[in-house]
């Protein structure tokens, strides 16, 4: 058994449109180790969610995976049939979506939605009858209790609209964890939640990760969340990874101008009265991608040497950066 649970190599996911081919994910490599929390950050449209929808096998026409390998626990998921992938999805790899209200089925009770996952994947359930129904109910109650929802027996009969935003997010996590997956992909788990509820949801994920020993991929715009909860982080821009490494190292010493820009745009108490420094310009058109460094038009440190494709470069133990000026002090 290797230390790496998920290994993605050369992933390219495209979407065909009337205007042309959108290269949403272009040559992405990702490693997720057993038991770790990996944070994925970047602007909207950078390819964060599409990368892991590809891992889950959720990309559908007009989208497709055009190239790459997705190795999970020693198996290449791209070689599995649809039925084989359904057996993995929800049991070994689970995902919580960005908006719990739209992700949950409004026509089914919470108990029915947790029970669906158990019936599909839990091989310990009896074949049929009352014993099966009772075990599904008991395990559903157990999952609601695990995510901190009280009065679980009565709440199984309620519908998603009867819960608050924070509670719906907890229900999504309960569904994802029903079969004790090895990997949980949390896609913007704190979207549209107030600060207090955000903290509760993130602490819940951290606690359950510790109890179950599972790996977590946390997709977010919030660098503060990544700094507090993730062992390593990966920064994405325009469908590519531009920097990755241990979270503390990247936060304290970012080596890519885009990462520096993201950190500089965060308000700080020490900067009271000073204007926030946004990254100027726009993300390049993913249909007509430039041949040079994709951050070139927005980079304050660009030079003629950047007018070519830039590869990821190893700059130290576990640190990789897509920039030609990593050895320089950028000020």
The pLDDT tens digits for 176-200 are: 999 999 999 999 888 767 788 888 8
Predicted pLDDT at 329 = 59
In a domain, 97, yes or no: no
The overall average pLDDT reported for the chain is: 91
Predicted pLDDT at 124 = 82
Q: pLDDT tens digit string along 72-119?
A: 999 999 999 999 999 999 999 999 988 888 899 999 999 999 999 999
Q: pLDDT tens digit string along 51-72?
A: 999 999 999 999 999 999 999 9
**What average pLDDT score do residues 282-292 get?**
92
pLDDT grade for 125, boundaries at 50, 70 and 90: confident
The dihedrals phi and psi of 310, each to the nearest 5 degrees, come to: -110, 130
In a domain, 308, yes or no: yes
pLDDT > 70 fraction of the chain, expressed in percent and rounded: 97
Q: How far is CA 78 from CA 59, 267, 311, in A?
A: 12, 42, 25
Rg (CA), the chain: 21
Give the DSSP letter string of 108-174: S-HHHHHHHHHHHH-TTS-SSHHHHHHHHHHHHHHHHHHTT-SSHHHHTTS-GGGS-HHHHHHHHHH
In a domain, 104, yes or no: no
In a domain, 194, yes or no: no
Give the DSSP letter string of 316-329: ETTEEE--TTTTS-
pTM (2 d.p.): 0.92
The dihedrals phi and psi of 70, each to the nearest 5 degrees, come to: -125, 100
Predicted pLDDT at 193 = 75
**Is 242:321 a contact under the CB 8 Å cutoff?**
yes
Q: Whole domain around residue 19: which residue ranges?
A: 1-83+212-331
In a domain, 156, yes or no: no
The separation between the first and the last C-alpha atoms of the chain, rounded to the nearest angstrom, is 44
pLDDT grade for 261, boundaries at 50, 70 and 90: very high
**What average pLDDT score do residues 170-179 get?**
91
Looking at residue 296, which CATH number applies to its domain? 3.40.50.300
**What average pLDDT score do residues 9-24 get?**
96
The answer to whether residue 311 scores a pLDDT higher than 80 is: yes
The token duo for 165 is 């935003």
For residue 91, which of 25, 221, 154, 178 has the smallest C-alpha distance? 178
User: Which of 254-259's residues contact partners 24+ apart within 8 Å by CB, and which partners?
Assistant: 255/315, 255/319, 255/321, 255/323, 255/326, 256/295, 256/321, 256/322, 256/323, 256/326, 257/295, 257/299, 257/300, 257/301, 257/323, 257/330, 258/295, 258/298, 258/299, 259/235
Number of domains in the chain: 1
Establish how many alpha carbons lie within 13 A of residue 186's alpha carbon, considering only the half-sphere containing its beta carbon.
Answer: 34
Predicted pLDDT at 194 = 79
Predicted pLDDT at 126 = 81
Predicted pLDDT at 111 = 95
In a domain, 72, yes or no: yes
In a domain, 254, yes or no: yes
- Spatial strand order of the sheet with 183-187 comes to 93-96, 183-187, 215-219, 37-41, 232-237, 240-246, 319-321, 313-316
pLDDT grade for 312, boundaries at 50, 70 and 90: very high
DSSP class of residue 302 equals: -
- H runs (alpha helix) in the chain: 48-56, 82-88, 100-103, 110-121, 129-146, 152-155, 165-177, 195-212, 223-229, 247-252, 257-264
The token duo for 317 is 């133990």
**What average pLDDT score do residues 155-166 get?**
93
């Amino acid at each position: 058994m290797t230390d790496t649970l998920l290994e993605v190599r050369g992933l390219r996911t495209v979407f065909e449109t009337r205007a042309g081919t959108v290269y949403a994910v272009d040559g992405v490599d990702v490693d997720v180790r057993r038991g770790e929390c990996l944070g994925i950050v970047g602007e909207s449209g950078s390819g964060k969610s599409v990368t892991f929808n590809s891992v889950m096998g959720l990309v559908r026409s007009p989208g497709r995976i055009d190239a790459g390998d997705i190795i999970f626990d020693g198996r290449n998921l791209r070689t599995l049939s649809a039925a084989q992938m359904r057996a993995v999805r929800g049991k070994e790899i689970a995902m919580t979506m960005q908006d719990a209200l739209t992700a949950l089925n409004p026509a089914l009770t919470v108990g029915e939605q947790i029970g669906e996952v158990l019936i599909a994947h839990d091989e310990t359930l009896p074949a049929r009858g009352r014993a099966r129904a009772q075990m599904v109910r008991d395990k559903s109650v157990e999952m609601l209790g695990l995510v901190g929802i009280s009065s679980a027996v009565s709440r199984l009969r309620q519908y998603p609209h009867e819960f608050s935003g924070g509670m719906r997010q907890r229900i999504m996590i309960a569904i994802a964890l029903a079969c004790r997956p090895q990997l949980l992909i949390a896609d913007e788990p704190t979207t549209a939640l107030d600060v207090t509820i955000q903290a509760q949801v993130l602490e819940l994920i951290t606690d359950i990760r510790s109890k179950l020993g599972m790996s977590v991929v946390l997709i977010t715009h919030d660098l503060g969340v990544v700094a507090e909860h993730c062992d390593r982080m990966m920064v994405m821009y325009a469908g590519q990874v531009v920097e990755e490494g241990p979270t503390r190292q990247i936060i304290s010493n970012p080596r890519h101008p885009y990462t520096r820009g993201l950190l500089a745009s965060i308000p700080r108490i020490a900067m009271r009265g000073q204007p926030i420094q946004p990254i100027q310009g726009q993300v390049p058109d993913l249909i007509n991608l430039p041949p040079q460094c994709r951050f070139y038009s927005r980079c304050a440190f660009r030079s003629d040497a950047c007018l070519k494709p830039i590869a990821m470069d190893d700059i130290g133990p576990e640190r990789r950066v897509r920039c030609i000026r990593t050895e320089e002090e950028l000020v």
